[in-house]
Structure 1
């Protein structure tokens, strides 16, 4: 897939802005200019219409991006059969007619530059040009095929809404408006990408979100100068503080309730046209371990599930490394019977423990990736059956010992407990350097790796918000929300 990094600095194509060309009074020259702009664009339609008084009107639009019924029934038919309003002979009359009669269906505007008109046409507007007029009327009648609202595919919940965002920007902002019905919900629009001109919306609740946070994100979005924006990941890398941390600094979601909860907590949301993924910032470490339905279920269930997630997340990160350290450097710390059992099973293995774990971890990650990339019908089958078959074959061949298969499988399955898939990436990545440290230095290496990870997390402060807040720095009034969820009580 093409990206903004596809060219070196010497090969990058020139994207210099064309000089502004103004609309003139000659309809023929205006038509030739637009045809030159849309040369070899077979989907751009030029249609001339003769009115009752023999006045000519030129319509320019993109086939497949407009509502033809609205154009034909609400604009062309009145103009062709009734003509312009009596006594009005300029293009202003057409604008007034749209404002007075079609305001519920159309948004109209006038421009004097061909480049502005071309951008609007490519976004689903119809351009109207008349003789002796030095401006172009634009009517927004965009309509094109979009995906229906479906159930979220990456954030499954047992309780809560079943609606997810789509690729249509206004559909997504409307879903948010339905939940937060207050004029304090602000939505600022930006246009990013010189070629794609992607619409980006910054959303926040005035009076709840910190003004400094809003100004910081607004300035970073405004400063983005790239040729194209194809997905929210482009915006995320430009807005976040550092690209070299394995931990995500912005929460990505396709659920409207998650975005609403973030805004009500004083965060900001970034909508990007063409993607169902919405960014919520700033993000903390604990946000990655909380599920959307944590606030819909009873507080006792949620508290238990949170502790299960914390324990299994730590287990997925450390279990293989601790196994290597104990069996290789510290066998005296294990029960004698367990150590004798492991030693007996490892007698036939020709490889050191750390190499065995590395091989199985790489294989497990490869199968996981294959399960994602393969078609939906066979992806889960390949990942599960492949792991069982390969693991059993490796043990039977004496290449890998049976305890290694158990350790790696247990750690891999434990990572699935993390409710947000993206937040599982750092745990999977950091597992490998911890394996290396434990293989070289034992438990001392594991402790050293944990110190480095914790130091990084403490220093990480996306958009000025500490990543480990409210643990570091400690905020006692917010600590309870990390370890448990308090029940809601009646005030009366």
Structure 2
């Protein structure tokens, strides 16, 4: 669903963008009948709209307005209607009003607000709040009594949890913020909310730790979010391209995660997180290139094993990007680089193949990516079987038919396994995308084309930034204190000293 898509013109009709027509920005009418008329006009053809008149103090009429599908009616009866409709004696002094009395004494709700504008009242109704309008008053009281329709907390479905907390974000913004608050119990954790989507009116939250996250980064994120003009926001992907520095880069410039511990660790490092109501994914910015090869489990295990795994990921990420291109370049232009026995074996295997090495590799890589995508889209029990069995059956049949050589099956299989070792899906997708033009350059110009394209990738990486932070930090520009947590995972004793040094440096800079 494209939020920018407009309706097609029919019979000469003009296209009009969707606008927010949730009421006028006027004062609430003092007459209850006028208020009811305005609300019914705004919510025309909304069968879930409930308007109910009740009497407070047995004589003063009030109007309750809410959307039935968004409100917990059982709590509404127990927490609001019973206290309001209980007979009480009206005793107001000269300085208080009925609204003040209801707000401060009679309504036993923790989350209540006084509303003075009709537009604000309508916005609160569509967000699932109950509005209490009082006759002869130009103000109303909004109460939050949401219907708890969210799913239960469970393990993240998009990220494998090997060690650590097994609770993942869900589609409820307040619960997601609760998970972060549970891990970071500090008043310095700041949460700022705003609304995006002229039609959907989606709540989003910006979280950061004060005095750790650079203020210029937070201001830049707020600035970019405030400039977004879109009809609807249903997931973090809707706003990803609006706030990243380079939308034409295949490399991820914003991290997506479903793990509260990963978000909390990033906040402590001085980053900011953006959460969207209705989405179980959180966005983290700024990030660097190296985050794509790190996992939060690296800090839960022994530093020696974690360092070994990091180097293994770097090695196989390089193979995932370059192995097919290197094979195509050497087998096509540089056979003299291979040992004689290996060159003869490759030549014998490719003797009956009708396609050149470059086309053969592109066919197998495309087939592998198609099978992997099919495995993701199909139901989980069937998808895994299709992706594995399909690759084996098609590969073996193609070799026996003489369409594809056996070495390319090995190369594509190793490339696929290498791509699975990259922990961040966005980084793995970037490697998969760049693999195809690299194969074409290697098959056209040999190792010269391979080296030229790799230099172009390196230049592109150095030129990137994430919310103003250099993408290749701390390698370029060089920061030796940061390299200790990129190329290796240093022990906690060293990282603790480094954190203390950074904190002291910040305090000195403030002075």
Instruction: State the Cα deviation string for residues 26-50 of structure 1 (Å, max 9, x = none).
Output: 1111101101111111111111223
Instruction: State the Cα deviation string for residues 401-433 of structure 1 (Å, max 9, x = none).
Output: 111111111101110000111111110000000
Between stretches 203-212 and 86-95, larger displacement belongs to: 86-95
Relative to structure 1, is the Cα distance of residues 143 and 84 closer, same or farther in structure 2, using a 3 angstrom cutoff? farther
d(CA) in 2 for partners of 1:47 and 1:180? 43
Between stretches 291-300 and 77-86, larger displacement belongs to: 77-86
**Does 2:356 correspond to 1:342?**
no
Between stretches 389-398 and 308-317, larger displacement belongs to: 389-398
Aligned equivalent of 1:230: 234
Aligned equivalent of 1:62: 67
d(CA) in 2 for partners of 1:396 and 1:246? 37
Say which SS state the counterpart of residue 212 (structure 2) adopts: coil
Relative to structure 1, is the Cα distance of residues 279 and 91 closer, same or farther in structure 2, using a 3 angstrom cutoff? farther
Maintained 8 Å contact 1:395/1:402 = yes
**Does 2:365 correspond to 1:365?**
no
Relative to structure 1, is the Cα distance of residues 474 and 50 closer, same or farther in structure 2, using a 3 angstrom cutoff? same
Between stretches 3-12 and 137-146, larger displacement belongs to: 3-12
Between stretches 65-74 and 141-150, larger displacement belongs to: 65-74
d(CA) in 2 for partners of 1:7 and 1:95? 47
Relative to structure 1, is the Cα distance of residues 260 and 376 closer, same or farther in structure 2, using a 3 angstrom cutoff? same
Aligned equivalent of 1:4: 4
Aligned equivalent of 1:331: 335
Aligned equivalent of 2:80: 75
**Unaligned stretches of 5+ residues in structure 2:** 498-511
Aligned equivalent of 2:476: 472
d(CA) in 2 for partners of 1:400 and 1:84? 90
Output the TM-score relative to the length of structure 2.
0.92
Maintained 8 Å contact 1:23/1:134 = yes
Say which SS state the counterpart of residue 207 (structure 1) adopts: coil
Q: CA deviation at 1:474?
A: 0.9
Maintained 8 Å contact 1:85/1:93 = no
Maintained 8 Å contact 2:20/2:198 = no
Instruction: State the Cα deviation string for residues 427-477 of structure 1 (Å, max 9, x = none).
Output: 000000000001101111110110000000001012111111111111111
Aligned equivalent of 1:317: 321
Aligned equivalent of 2:491: 487
d(CA) in 2 for partners of 1:194 and 1:129? 26
d(CA) in 1 for partners of 2:293 and 2:475? 14
Maintained 8 Å contact 2:132/2:142 = yes
Say which SS state the counterpart of residue 377 (structure 1) adopts: helix
d(CA) in 1 for partners of 2:161 and 2:256? 16
Instruction: State the Cα deviation string for residues 292-340 of structure 1 (Å, max 9, x = none).
Output: 2000000011011001100000001100000011111001101111111
Maintained 8 Å contact 2:24/2:118 = no
Aligned equivalent of 1:115: 119
Find the partner of 2:36 among 31, 46, 57.
31
Relative to structure 1, is the Cα distance of residues 90 and 121 closer, same or farther in structure 2, using a 3 angstrom cutoff? farther
Between stretches 112-121 and 207-216, larger displacement belongs to: 112-121
Find the partner of 1:46 among 47, 51, 55.
51
Relative to structure 1, is the Cα distance of residues 91 and 265 closer, same or farther in structure 2, using a 3 angstrom cutoff? same
d(CA) in 1 for partners of 2:95 and 2:144? 20
d(CA) in 2 for partners of 1:283 and 1:129? 48
Relative to structure 1, is the Cα distance of residues 195 and 14 closer, same or farther in structure 2, using a 3 angstrom cutoff? closer
Maintained 8 Å contact 1:90/1:133 = no
Q: CA deviation at 1:21?
A: 3.3
Q: CA deviation at 1:380?
A: 0.7
d(CA) in 2 for partners of 1:21 and 1:84? 33
Say which SS state the counterpart of residue 59 (structure 1) adopts: strand
Aligned equivalent of 1:187: 191
Output the TM-score relative to the length of structure 1.
0.95
Find the partner of 2:312 among 286, 308, 333.
308
d(CA) in 2 for partners of 1:89 and 1:6? 55
- Which residues in structure 2 correspond to 1:81-480 (within 5 Å)? 81-83=86-88, 85-87=90-92, 92-93=97-98, 95-100=100-105, 102=107, 105-480=109-484
d(CA) in 2 for partners of 1:435 and 1:415? 16
Maintained 8 Å contact 1:57/1:128 = yes
d(CA) in 1 for partners of 2:8 and 2:491? 56
Instruction: State the Cα deviation string for residues 245-272 of structure 1 (Å, max 9, x = none).
Output: 0001011111111111111111111111
Q: CA deviation at 1:229?
A: 1.0
Matched residues, number: 491
**Unaligned stretches of 5+ residues in structure 1:** none
Say which SS state the counterpart of residue 54 (structure 2) adopts: strand
